[in-house]
Structure 1
């Protein structure tokens, strides 16, 4: 199992980053909450990883914080929640926000996430409520990070829409969400995605 990667970011296009580790490029899928914490292309980062092996694919998922990896691992144990949906959930809210939803029994906030229906939201509340305290009791310090590299203005919208589609939104919905927040003062695709996800949760 690949437990941890330390290397140079050579590409970053949400929800994937490629990290050069000793001359080998690892493609890692990460939630948007992790993308926000990563430094820019050309800089070093450390990712805690979870390796998923299926008959048709092998995928690495990465996280800056242990608490987020722990939530991801707990999520994929829930019936009906696979790695893709777990990634979408952690892109829409961080572990602390997810735990707060459980404590409030806020199924509406969960259903607002892409791919989470009413039954899945209710199942998450029932099966994971008792674990909220465990996640928050052992938060590891976040690695020092730098601001993400700037994107060109022409690429920002396209990258943001592609990322939302990869997270489970339909193309038309992704376009609508981006259009709704595009006038906001953002200079990176990550910033535009964050604004769109926050808007979707309102």
Structure 2
């Protein structure tokens, strides 16, 4: 079991990361809440990881905070919620926002997450009601992902690809990014993703 990675950040292509640990590159999937807090490329990074093993693949999921990994592990124990859906949930909602959804029975906010239907949202609320401790601080102002040294030409395209990788339909991702771009026309891809996800989160 790989529970922690400590190395340098080699590449970021949301939601995929590549972490170089003494010359070995580990491919990791991370929620946007983690990606927004990553250091610049080439800088040291420590990720708390979860290894998901299936019949067809082994995949590492990484998180900046242990609390986020604990929440991810809690989510995948809910019937009908797999690692991919849990990743999408934690990309659109941080711990505090998810706790608010659960405490307020906010099904409408949860069904905005790709792959989460009404029944799954209701199940999440029921099963998480007594499991979400008040340890998740409010983090409405999520730090932006550190920019790479290389210029990015198509910020909107990169943002759309990242949202699609999280499970949003291409047409929906395009609309979300377009709204974000209208709000901040000169935004980079990380900012567009943050704004797009924030528009889907509960107020």
TM-score by length of 2: 0.90
Q: Return the alpha-carbon distance in structure 2 between the equivalents of residues 125 and 86 of structure 1.
A: 14
* Counterpart position of 2:155: 156
Cα deviations by residue, 1:101-122 (Å, 9 ceiling, x for unpaired): 1111111111111111100000
Matched-pair contact (CA < 8 Å) for 2:145–2:190: no
**Aligned-partner SS, 1:112:** coil
Q: Return the alpha-carbon distance in structure 2 between the equivalents of residues 56 and 7 of structure 1.
A: 27
Q: CA deviation at 1:198?
A: 1.4
* Counterpart position of 1:171: 170
**In the TM superposition, what are the counterparts of 1:96-111 in structure 2 within 5 Å?**
96-111=96-111
Cα deviations by residue, 1:83-117 (Å, 9 ceiling, x for unpaired): 00000000001111111111111111111111111
- Structure 1: segments with no counterpart, 5+ residues: 140-144
- Structure 2: segments with no counterpart, 5+ residues: 138-142
**Structure 1 stretches of at least 4 aligned residues deviating more than 6 Å after TM superposition:** none
More helix by share: 1
**In the TM superposition, what are the counterparts of 1:49-198 in structure 2 within 5 Å?**
49-133=49-133, 136-137=134-135, 148-150=146-148, 152-185=151-184, 187-198=187-198
TM-score by length of 1: 0.90
Q: CA deviation at 1:147?
A: 5.5
Q: Return the alpha-carbon distance in structure 2 between the equivalents of residues 137 and 198 of structure 1.
A: 21
Number of equivalenced pairs: 195
Q: Return the alpha-carbon distance in structure 2 between the equivalents of residues 155 and 62 of structure 1.
A: 26
Residue 56 to residue 200, structure 1, CA distance change in 2 (3 Å): same
Q: CA deviation at 1:138?
A: 8.2
Q: Return the alpha-carbon distance in structure 1 between the equivalents of residues 135 and 144 of structure 2.
A: 26
**Aligned-partner SS, 2:124:** helix
**Aligned-partner SS, 1:183:** helix
